[in-house]
Structure 1
């Protein structure tokens, strides 16, 4: 009997805690998807037409509301040169609250972009709002199933107090909070917070509610499940579907709604809903912290060369923001836009969404994505060159992101037995010759001389002083770090770096692969060393391992004199295997075996983050990071830095995602056919470089110098060298 009473008491408590839903806010908008339903130009053309037509519907139905989800789609219309009166009409709608503008330029891969790019993604909408005289309060990012922990700080820092998202409904476990709808405060590492509404039923939840009876069932199910609020939002959108889903909901649901149900139905905007929820429940809401990004950022590895270019540019753009702005504001704005466009969730090099695009359209889409990266990189080079105020035959310039010591490569004709002399800051330095078969965006020359130079942040002037014989050089070979290695089978390498005054660094490394659908099943690449070479100089000890079996071409181990091990993998993409369409794609990872890892932090868009999160449910197979991972190992810190890779996995071994390769595309015109060039314009030899410090208590400054290799602006007269 006591047991029955207790059960009834619990049921009564449950009933009391469930709120009666009194108002449903229908929120119409169009979800922006580029490259899935059409190429960039096709989607742009669609939005131009949509924003031409929308005012007619708004004028016919004065109580209809619409939200501009992301500013890119509206900017497409602005660039089509619409009539000034029509632009003013949109401004009036916004001032009246009939149209709301979301703050973001696109739904971003926030785990890939840094804080600079995410802040730039807010500027276009904010500028338009400021010029037009209406407030901007809500950021919408949809479809993406997770976001970086730094996003609340970035949004709140720009004056955005509300964040609304309908995550892709295939990934509800990405968010740990219960039920399908979640209202909470999200606080960033800097302590700033935004009020969030996240729907696990996706941004298209209202698209499928085609009748009042379906909506009533939806409301009833929410109440039965224990939904605790009197108001609920229903997002009404679909991929590039314009205002039509919202118009259908307005005509079929709103206008046909029975007021006798006791539930009020309104066509609303995000701000109207979020303000209502804050006023009613804001004081009692929970505050959560943490990162839950990573489920889709890995798709950027389909274009590893272009992704590397963007990662390099966005670091320079952040650290030299003011300098570049002063040089050429218009050119810098163009570069910023390319960075934002590449960080958008649909800007990926892929095999295309099955059956949506023709083969030609898919190739065009991929080329457009690569173009964002190559244009951003070339624009940065132009801006840096404009920073020079003089040019002379023997003067060159080096652009550094901060004060420090850097390894710098100077292109020059190599003279056997001689070293190049360089004067900087009144001191003369001698360089060591180098030559290589490959080049990348950090090591852009195949031959020349490299130096260890002290540089100041910004522009540094240096003068070429000619050559001298190497016998004249004074080199302290005792400072060389000793590097040992041995092959243990099938391409796995055991490496030992001997350290002065500390324990040796031991690790083993190899190249592994997995198919996209099975990220937990890693297969070691059966690659065998065909030859090796060891070289020494005053700054570096280099072991080059050559492989006959493609796609692995070389592994280069470099022990630097000031402490640190550089690992470079050279992958020949012409040797990548054909992957059956059923397997989608093949992924390659650098796999590292390091003993004694007891903890790990990784760099997010702005802050160092932990894998554990109050928000994240299941974590993705690979977690995105920005250049740096800090390992807790046996009571000391080990810093690991990456130039090109931006996703890692820790499951016994530490693995870094390198590239994703597609062979076939399921087109709308040719069926399943070879995709062709996977990343248009990328070099055949792709390089992926990493740095592991070998210093006691970590070597973060050295790791930063590795990632932020300075740009070299050569002397005007290269022939002089």
Structure 2
């Protein structure tokens, strides 16, 4: 019988020591009556594992999982699989993995008329805002990483959401924004087109900035979603408005995105620039739901480690350990907020040391990323039509 072992991105703390999860796959089945043991020699340290007696269950997947001390560099390991009266010996390569920190940005993508009549959308947004306030209150005693947070994405969402709420609800919304639980983004619509001229681009910031000034709030990150191109003037307008960061999610049905390592600095002719992070083109702006975070902990555990390992195996587009995932409440546009993400993050972080899951805002992520990796990023000075 053949077998294989692969180091995973999962780590947990056991009696103060960091342990890494190794996944064991067999090429065939071993009768239940037979013993099934793995003997592993890593740098002359020999450990024996009874694979029948492992309590690790990773998303119900049909594999065996063992714990070893963290693999701090790629290492060869001599392995012996004992099954029944037979032995299979093999030399394995166990690879070092990143200590991931994954930031989930909860939001809804504003797209009038796409999912319902435009006349019905404002009432939905008001309901969503009230749910956001309730979810922030429900999770106020959660740990800092898993407390519910919300990103408005667009000024139009904010304008419609607050249109008919009570003064008490509006005051609560503003208080949460000041605490960093809710973050404002400036574009009136997230569909920022390369056909917009300077006047349209500048005026598209008016509503959010006016609301921010009246309520003593900061706006530091802009969001563009579901568009096939962006105007080159954007870095100048954003930078001169005090905005350092831009997150994008391209419409890959309309145009093919450029094959560029992300994130990067995008610079205009006058030297104005923003730090730009593009969502994974495979998921566009649906990363959170596609990776199980709108469902439950088990679904996230099935999907996230596989995805992160895929990023490690092909690091051409993302080579860092600090990741941003857009997380609408469900798949689609104009979706409601989903408190499940906070409960998933709480359960996850209680069980795993890494990856860490952070229910986050865009600026919270950007600031941490720029401080850690900003000096290593590439700078692009060019127009970017049709991605």
2:111 paired residue number: 33
- Between the aligned partners of 2:254 and 2:369, the Cα distance in structure 1 is 25
What CA distance in whole angstroms lies between the structure 1 residues aligned with 2:265 and 2:351?
A: 33
Q: Which residue of 1 aligns with 2:130?
A: 52
Q: Does structure 1 conserve the Cα–Cα contact (< 8 Å) formed by 2:345 and 2:358? A: no
**In the TM superposition, what is the alpha-carbon distance from 1:129 to its structure 2 partner?**
1.0
In structure 2, runs of 5+ residues without a counterpart are 1-72, 75-92, 141-146, 293-298
8 Å CA contact 1:146, 1:292 repeated in 2: yes
Counterparts of 1:305-454 in structure 2, within 5 Å, are none
In structure 2, the residue matched to 1:121 is 204
1:284 & 1:53 partners in 2: Cα distance? 40
Partner of 1:85: 168
CA distance in 1, matches of 2:374, 2:275: 8
Residue 242 (structure 1) aligned with residue 340 (structure 2): no
Correspondence 1:124-163 to 2 at 5 A? 124-163=207-246
> 1:204-255 CA deviation, whole Å, 9 max, x = no partner?
11111222221121222112222421210111014000213xx233233543
Matches of 1:281 and 1:85 in 2, distance apart? 41
2:276 to 192, 196, 206: 196
Q: Separation in 2 of the partners of 1:272 and 1:99?
A: 11
Q: State the distance in 2 between where 1:174 and 1:92 align.
A: 38
Is residue 277 of structure 2 the alignment partner of residue 183 of structure 1?
Answer: no
Contact 2:348 2:357 in 1 (8 A): no
The CA distance in 1 between the partners of 2:270 and 2:351, in whole Å, is 46
- Alignment CA distance shift 1:61-1:172 (3 Å): farther
Counterparts of 1:640-659 in structure 2 under 5 Å?
A: none
Query: For the residues of structure 2 that align with 1:209 and 1:174, how far apart are their CA atoms?
Result: 21
**Equivalent-residue separation in structure 1 for 2:191 and 2:255 (angstroms):** 18
For residue 258 of structure 1, report the CA deviation from its aligned partner.
Answer: 5.3
Counterpart in the other structure of 2:158: 74
| Deviation of the 1:173 alpha carbon | 2.7
Q: Which residue of 1 aligns with 2:313?
A: 224
Highest Rg: 1 or 2? 1
Shift of 1:271: 0.3
Aligned to 1:251: 343
Displacement after TM superposition at 1:171 (Å): 5.6
Q: 1:184 to 1:172 in 2, by over 3 A?
A: farther
Secondary structure of the 2:208 match is helix
Determine if contact 2:106/2:337 at 8 Å carries over to the other structure.
Answer: yes
Per the alignment, do residues 169 and 205 of structure 1 end up closer, same or farther by CA in structure 2, a change over 3 Å counting? Answer: farther
Structure 1 spans left out of the alignment, 5+ residues: 1-10, 295-615, 617-721
SS, match of residue 134 in structure 2: helix
User: 1:671 aligns to what?
Assistant: none
Give distance in 2, aligned partners of 1:283 and 1:272: 18
Are the equivalent residues in 1 in contact too, given 2:151–2:361 (CA < 8 A)? yes
The SS at the match of 2:171 is helix
SS in structure 2 opposite 1:143?
strand
TM-score by length of 1: 0.37
Does the CA contact (< 8 Å) of 1:66 and 1:98 recur in 2? yes
Q: Is the 8 A contact 1:21 1:229 kept in 2?
A: no
1-structure distance, mates of 2:197, 2:122: 26
- By how many angstroms is 1:50 displaced? 1.3
Q: Which residue of 2 aligns with 1:107?
A: 190
Matched, 1:266 2:358: yes
Aligned partner of residue 173 in structure 1, secondary structure: coil
Task: Report deviation, 1:35.
Answer: 1.5
Contact 1:19-1:230 within 8 A present in 2 as well: no
CA distances 1:602-646 after superposition (whole Å, capped 9, x unpaired)? xxxxxxxxxxxxxx5xxxxxxxxxxxxxxxxxxxxxxxxxxxxxx
